[in-house]
Structure formats: C-alpha cells, structure tokens
Amino acid sequence: MRKEYFTLTLLLIVSYGIYVLYEPFWMSIVVASLLAISTHHIQMAFLNLTHSRFWASALSTLLLGILFFAPLGYFLFHISVMLQNLDPAIMHTMEIKLRMWVEHLPPSLSRVEAKIEAALVKFDPTALSQHIIAYASQMGSFAMSFLSGTLFILIFYFIAHYYGRDIFEFFKRSAHFPQQESTLIIFEMRSAMSVVFYSILTTAVFEGALFGIAIGYMGYNGLLFGIMYGFASLIPVVGGVIMWLPFALFELSQGHTENALFITLYTIIVISIIADTLIKPVIIKIINQHLLKPQEKINELIIFFAIIAGLSTFGFWGMIIGPAITVLFLTLMKIT
C-alpha cells in the first residue's frame, strides 16, 4: 500500500472515531459555532472595549446567557411547576362555563355552536388534567436536560469566540482552501446568520413584551407569559394563536367576556397587525442595512422557509441550523 493511501485510510478511521467520541456534543458544538458567527459584531464591540480576547469572549457569553438562555430556563422551570400544581377542578369549571356560553350564542353562529358542542362532547376534564400533570413531569426532566445542554452550548460558544480565528485558520490550511473563497464563505455566513439571529431575538423580545404587558394588566405573570409568547412568535402563522386563544377561552369560561375580548383584539390588532406586519419589517430593515451592512441583500423569503424547514427537521435549534445550511449551500453554488 502506498504511503498516501495508508495515511488517507488512517485519517478516515480516526475521523470516524472522533465523530463517535464527540457524538453527544455535536449539536451543541454546531449551535454554539453558529451563534458565535451570528454575534461576531458583539464580540468585536467587546474586543474594542476591553482590548482582550478573553474578556470579550467572556462578556459575549455572559450576554448570550442573560438574553437568550436565562428566559428559557425561567420559562421551563415555572411552567413545569405550574402544570404540576394544576387543579383539575379548573377544567370542570371551564367546561361548565363554556357550555353556558355556547347556549347563549346568537342564531347567526349556529355552525360555530355545533362545532363547539361536538368538541365539548369529546372533552374529558379528568383525563385532560391527568395528561397535563403527566406531561408536566416530562417537561421537568426535559427542562433539566435542556439546561444541561445549554451549559455545553455556552462553553463551546466561549471557545468558538476565543479560539475561533485560530480554528478557522487551521481548517483552512488543512483543507488547502483558497483565501478568496474562504473569505466569501465566512462573510456570507456571518451576514446571513447575524440578520437571522438579531431578527429572531428582537422580534421575540418586542412581541413578548407587548403580550406580557397586556397579560400583566389582567393579573397574570406578565414576565412568564411574555417569554412564552416571545418564543411562540418564532413559529410562523400560528405562533401567536397558541398563546392568546387559551387565555381568551379561559377568561370566557370564567365569565370575563371583556377580558377575553380585550386579549383577542389586542393581540390581533396591536401585536399581529401593527407590531408583526408593520413594525417588524422596519426593525429587520434597520438591522440589515444600518447595523450589519452586508454587501448583498439577503432574500427574506429564503431565510423564512429555511427557518420553517429547520424547525421541522432539527427542532428548536433548527431556526439557527436551517438558515446556516441554506446560506452555506447558496454560497458554495456561487463559488462553483
């Protein structure tokens, strides 16, 4: 066997061994690397401020933990506790109130009344409460698993920022990749991922704050449900509905028709129409043009479908991985 073939065979075997060895951490490594690419501008700002790569990386990691992961941990912990302490009597009360409300619907809504009554026939409050409590215990274990995974992401995120330039140069030399092509790839990835990350974060915070203020005014935990709405808003089309509709139905079942009408109209008009349809594109445009200043405008439709595909394929972190794969593919096509 020639020396080159032997070396290549040995490299493939060792590469497979490396893959198996670090398989539990690959998702965390990929997500952390993409987040580091997305927040390169924050890292550079801290680097100019501190003149230290270590402290810039540490401050970037701390900021990511506070803005992105701390709200997730707060949400998972409180929602699991809330579901575990759910009173089954609430479900029975909701069923009774909803049946009373359906009986007083106007004749023009007879079709809606028939569908609601058909749904109530299949509604079993006791079984639903048991399912929710069982799901709460599963969510508690999921929360612990998610938070442990988050810790690894933060560790790899710090490493990606601190050693990112050295790692990139090492792989570029090892792959003998031309300087021009490697620069184009990293620039395209950085621009696209920055727009995706900042747009997601800004939209989630903005819409979550609007919903949290309204829910807090009604006497609920505005911080918790604001965080929930912020992450739900990342789901296209139906994200907001899965948050405001249960509140409206619950308030309606309690006889608070004004509150149900308020949260419905407020969410549809203020958040969905004004904030999401009118203000959100302006925010993304500001991020795209004034903050990042990419050489080429990113096609928002491609990024939109990449986020949807990523969420359906990879789960929660697909909103980061989907656009990254798409942008890398388009960049390689441009090079070739």
Q: What is the pLDDT of residues 167-178, one digit of tens each?
A: 777 777 766 666
pLDDT beyond 80 at 229: yes
Residue 158, pLDDT > 90, answer yes
Residues 151 and 222 in one domain: no
Whether 1 has a pLDDT exceeding 60, the answer reads no
Query: What does the DSSP 8-state code read for residue 301?
Result: H
| Least-confidence region, from 70-79, 238-247, 252-261, 291-300 | 291-300
CA distance 333 to 336: 5
Query: Measuring CA to CA, how many Å separate 66 from each of 70, 71, 74, 157?
Result: 5, 7, 11, 14
Give the Cα separation of 306 and 327 in Å (integer). 9
Q: Is a pLDDT exceeding 60 seen at residue 136?
A: no
| Contact assessment for residue 212 and residue 195, using Cβ atoms and an 8 Å cutoff | no
Residue 110: band (very low, low, confident or very high) from pLDDT cuts 50, 70, 90: low
Query: 225 or 291: which carries more pLDDT confidence?
Result: 225
**Residue 11, in any domain of the structure:** no
The pLDDT of residue 118: 62
Output the pTM of the full model: 0.70
Shared domain check, 167 and 39: yes
Q: Which of 206, 234, 207, 238 is nearest to 304 (CA)?
A: 234
Same domain, 72 and 149: yes
> Domain boundary residue among 153, 176, 199?
176
Among 161, 176, 191, the domain-final residue is 176
Q: What residues contact residue 232 under an 8 Å CB cut-off, 6+ apart?
A: 239, 240, 242, 243
Report whether pLDDT(241) > 90.
no
Residue 201's domain spans which residues? Answer: 179-336
Out of 176, 197, 221, pick the residue that ends a domain.
176
Does residue 58 sit in the same domain as residue 172? yes
- 118 and 193 housed in the same domain: no
Q: How many domains does the chain have?
A: 2
Residues 281, 221 share a domain:
yes
Confidence of residue 203 (pLDDT cuts 50, 70, 90): confident
Q: What's the rounded Cα separation, in Å, for the pair 211 and 257?
A: 18
